[in-house]
Amino acid sequence: MFQPDDTHAHVALPVSTFRLSINQNPTPIDMTYRPLFLVFLLTFSISALAQTPFTLKEKKVTVTGTSTLHEWTSEVQACTWKGSLLVNNNRVERIDAAEFSLKVADIKSTKGKIMDNKTYEAFDYEKNPTITYKLTSATVSDPNIKATGQLTMAGTSRSIDLPTTAKVLPNGDVKITGSYKINMKDFKMTPPTAMMGTIKVGEEVIVNFDLTLTPIK
């Protein structure tokens, strides 16, 4: 009868070792690199959706109104704007921050210094030297934007909904345009008068703005 050769006994593996080897499943290569891929994808997505800070490049801001004598126009000589926009596929998709400000003394009338002085008196500009608008929320439906924010002037703040339109220019700048009617009495202002009260300025004025914003690089 055949007898097993003891010299070959060392080739037998313990049962436990054999079971361990068949129960171990090697990790697939795609599972090994999936966490790294997810990190890359998340980072890329956040970067792609990050908003860009913008600053004011060009502006045209006017204030128009009426009086018992004639219509009048004042121009804003200087102002500032700062904020951040999300621009994607040549469209403004979101605005999370925006702040516009100007000095009352930079409002200049086409009618001369007499009108300017009356404007400054109405603002009590020595106590209230600046006008500011600070965005609190924005609803964007390209190209229209409803910008809700706090308008502060003559020492009074009010929440207003400012309708605007946005257009992305070929060079990456963004043009923001719009207009808004303001009643001076809403801000506790007394409309200017002249000639012993015989000439009265209407209490409503219209602010027209055309702003070109450029990304900060």
Q: Report pTM.
A: 0.75
CATH superfamily of 51-215: Lipid/polyisoprenoid-binding, YceI-like (2.40.128.110)
Summarize pLDDT for 99-138 with one digit per residue, the tens.
999 999 999 998 889 889 999 999 999 999 999 999 999 9
- Contact in structure between 153 and 120 (CB atoms under 8 Å): no
> Structure tokens of 77?
């000589």
Quick one: pLDDT at residue 16? Answer: 42
CA distance 215 to 211: 13
Q: How many helices (H) and strands (E) does the chain have?
A: 3, 12
DSSP reduced 3-state for 124:
coil
- Cα–Cα distance between 51 and 120 in angstroms, integer? 38
Mean pLDDT value across residues 196-212 = 90
What whole-number percentage of the chain has pLDDT above 70? 76
CB 79 within 8 A of CB 105: no
Beta strands in the chain (DSSP E): 52-65, 72-76, 80-88, 91-103, 107-109, 130-141, 144-153, 156-168, 174-183, 193-194, 199-200, 204-215
Span 28-47, pLDDT tens digits:
545 554 555 444 444 444 44
Contact 40, 60 (CB under 8 A): no
Q: Which amino acid is at 100?
A: F
pLDDT tens column, 65-102: 998 888 999 999 999 999 999 999 999 999 989 999 99
CB 110 within 8 A of CB 77: no
